């Protein structure tokens, strides 16, 4: 997928591809090293999902534009990316011409939503006029969501501690806080919750 995108994008006269990454954390590292104008971001990625990565990227540099390109068009993913600050959302099966149009649109400081995504956004807007947001992105902190994703992907507490540069005791505390907030009592339930809320797909 990345190779195909790179090939198509490099043929555009006003677009330069400066880096590509295969996971959320490597994306964050490359963004810090290269300071791109635009990041084309998958939503479901290992170790740090696209929603969290987008939030962190825009915290570091709010001038970067993030375009979500995903096979997932579920409301949790779409609204999670937009609330994290993404400037565009397109399904992976969109035509390349539409992606190129989205790139030029966000470069001009505008928002781009694929036609299939607009309906999701409008329905979510009216839904939230009536019901409060109880998603993982309002219930859990950013760090808690990071820990939850890594645990749901099968990593041991010691591995999570190493990846996040925190102590084992701190990760254990986070795990207990997450379970208390969600009212769940085991890793299996946590994993189901993480998948349902779009924190991980377990398919990456």
Q: Which of 196, 10, 6, 15 lies closest to 102, judged by CA?
A: 15
Q: Are residues 68 and 109 in the same domain?
A: yes
Band (pLDDT 50/70/90 cuts) for residue 167 is very high
Mean pLDDT rounded to a whole number for the chain: 87
Verify that 107 and 190 share a domain, yes or no. Answer: no
67 in the same domain as 163: no
Give 21-79 pLDDT, tens digit per residue. 989 999 999 999 999 999 999 988 888 999 999 999 999 999 999 999 988 888 888 88
* Measured distance CA(141)–CA(19) in Å, rounded: 30
Same domain for 38 and 63, yes or no, is yes
Task: State which of 83, 111, 130 marks the end of a domain.
Answer: 130
Q: What is the mean pLDDT of residues 180-194?
A: 86
Residue 96 has pLDDT above 80, yes or no: yes
Domain of 7, CATH number, reads 3.40.50.2300
The pLDDT-based confidence of 127 (bands split at 50, 70, 90) is: low
Q: Are 172 and 71 found together in one domain?
A: no
Domain boundary pick from 78, 99, 130: 130
Q: Where are the beta strands (DSSP E) in the chain?
A: 38-41, 65-70, 88-91, 112-113
pLDDT at 130 over 60: no
**Residue 204 forms part of a structural domain:** no
pLDDT for 2 beyond 80: no
Confidence at residue 126, expressed as pLDDT on a 0 to 100 scale = 60
Confidence of residue 125 (pLDDT cuts 50, 70, 90): low
Mean pLDDT calculated for residue range 134-158? 87
**Angstrom distance (rounded) from CA 88 to CA 97:** 14
What is the domain range of residue 60? 2-130
Is 157 inside a domain boundary? yes
pTM of the prediction?
Answer: 0.70
Sheet with 38-41, edge to edge strand ranges: 38-41, 65-70, 88-91, 112-113
Give yes or no: residues 96 and 111 share one domain.
yes
Widest CA span in the chain: 54
Same domain, 104 and 10: yes
Closest Cα to residue 198, out of 22, 47, 74?
Answer: 74
CA 60, 142, 78, 138 torsion-angle sign: negative
Instruction: Say whether both 10 and 99 belong to one domain.
Output: yes
CATH number at residue 143: 1.10.10.10
Number of domains in the chain: 2
Final residue of a structural domain among 76, 109, 130: 130
91 and 32 assigned to the same domain: yes
* Residues 163, 108 share a domain: no
Residue 203 lies in a domain: no
Q: What is the pLDDT, as a whole number, of residue 204?
A: 44
Helices (H), 108-186: 115-130, 136-139, 142-152, 157-164, 168-182
The pair phi, psi for residue 66, each rounded to 5°, is: -110, 125
pLDDT exceeds 70 at position 153: yes
Entry field: residues in the chain: 204
What gap in Å lies between CA 45 and CA 47, rounded to an integer? 7
């Amino acid at each position: 997928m990345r190779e195909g995108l790179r090939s198509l994008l490099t043929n555009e006269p006003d677009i330069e591809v400066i880096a590509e990454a295969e996971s959320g954390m490597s994306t964050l590292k490359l963004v810090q090293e290269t300071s791109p104008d635009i990041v084309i971001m998958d939503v479901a990625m290992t170790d740090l999902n696209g929603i969290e990565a987008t939030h962190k990227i825009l915290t570091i540099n709010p001038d970067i534009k993030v375009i979500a390109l995903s096979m997932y068009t579920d409301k949790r993913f779409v609204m999670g990316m937009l609330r994290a600050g993404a400037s565009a959302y397109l399904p992976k099966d969109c035509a390349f011409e539409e992606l190129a149009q989205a790139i030029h649109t966000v470069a001009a400081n505008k928002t781009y939503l694929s036609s299939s995504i607009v309906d999701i956004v409008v329905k979510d807007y009216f839904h939230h006029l009536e019901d409060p947001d109880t998603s993982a992105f309002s219930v859990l902190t950013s760090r808690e969501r990071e820990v939850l994703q890594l645990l749901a992907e099968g990593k041991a507490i010691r591995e999570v501690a190493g990846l996040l540069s925190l102590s084992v005791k701190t990760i254990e505390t986070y795990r207990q806080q997450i379970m208390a907030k969600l009212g769940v009592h085991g890793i299996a339930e946590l994993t189901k919750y993480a998948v349902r809320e779009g924190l991980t797909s377990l398919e990456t």
